[in-house]
Amino acid sequence: MKTQILDHGYLKLIRSAGSDEDIIEAARMSTDKGFLGWGPLHAPGCQQYRPSTPKAVHAKACCDGIAGDEKLLKYLYDNKHATPFEFAWMVIEVQAPIFVFREWHRHRTQSYNELSARYTPLPDLNYIPTVERLMMNAGGSNKQAGTIAGANQLTPELAELHRRRLYDTYSEAEKIYQHALADGVPKELARIHLPVGRYSRMRAAACLRNWLAFLTLRMAPGAQWEIRQYANAVGELIAEKFPRTWELFVK
């Protein structure tokens, strides 16, 4: 159940805990009630009555139905009552280029454990963007993905040329790495010329509130396209595990 991302990356769910219902339950601590139910709730006499409806609801329900807990979830979300969304949690594993992890690790509310090149030689996986990706902002619409002043207009040919250069420099870096390791250079120093496009791997854990904060920044149009692909994959996991919260988030 890995989502493949970029040329050698992936993202997969290790574990999720809690649910949309748990968020309601946590929020209801403040009013001394629990989760009541989703969807319109109906009184005992009503055709659409479900026996599982809790007693507290029976008392108030009428045949027009009363709003279920979607309403509270929406209220919490819209009014930034954020702490109930801390009562769900998710752990993922992700393989991504180092420059993606550099952005990712600025989020100080997640837990991280990453492959360490001090302990283990890094696998020889390096990111080479496609021509299409390189050309993506050739129109210049995204300021944050801009070129330097006075640069040429990138063409598919120049993009392809850059890809070949990347391939060559990555290969050369790997050769030097292997030489250095074999020569007895400590692992922690043998790696310092490796490129930020090299892949690494980590596990990351956070509560739902903090995953959403991550997505708010990293799914935004101003975020670098590469980390956006990972953010989108996190979003898909949330959509699956916390569908009602996700619906509120994407709106």
Residues carrying an active site annotation = 218
Looking at beta carbons only, is 46 or 205 nearer to a copy of itself?
Answer: 205
Among 137, 239, 247, 248, binds a copy of itself (CB under 8 A): 137
Q: What is the smallest separation between the CB atom of 93 and a copy of itself, expressed in angstroms?
A: 8
> Does residue number 71 form part of the binding site for a copy of itself (CB under 8 A)?
no
Nearest to 109 by CA among 8, 6, 1, 213: 213
Looking at beta carbons only, is 50 or 58 nearer to a copy of itself?
Answer: 58
Give the interface segment with a copy of itself, choosing from 40-48, 49-57, 190-198, 236-244 (CB under 8 A): 190-198
> Residues 145 to 174: which contact a copy of itself by CB under 8 A?
145-148, 151-155, 158-159, 161-162, 165-166, 169-170, 172-173
> Does residue number 183 form part of the binding site for a copy of itself (CB under 8 A)?
yes
Among 7, 44, 71, 111, binds a copy of itself (CB under 8 A): 111
Burial of 135 per CB tally in 10 Å (0-12, 13-18, 19+):
middle
> Each residue of 35-50: b (16+ CB within 10 Å) or e?
bbbbeebbbeeeeebe
Among 36, 57, 191, 238, binds a copy of itself (CB under 8 A): 191
Looking at beta carbons only, is 50 or 165 nearer to a copy of itself?
Answer: 165
Euclidean distance between CA atoms 251 and 246, whole angstroms: 9
Rg over alpha carbons for the chain, rounded to the nearest Å, is: 24
> Does residue number 112 form part of the binding site for a copy of itself (CB under 8 A)?
yes
Q: Which long-range CB contacts under 8 A does 159-163 form with residues at least 24 apart?
A: 159/131, 159/134, 159/135, 160/131, 162/134, 163/128, 163/129, 163/131, 163/134
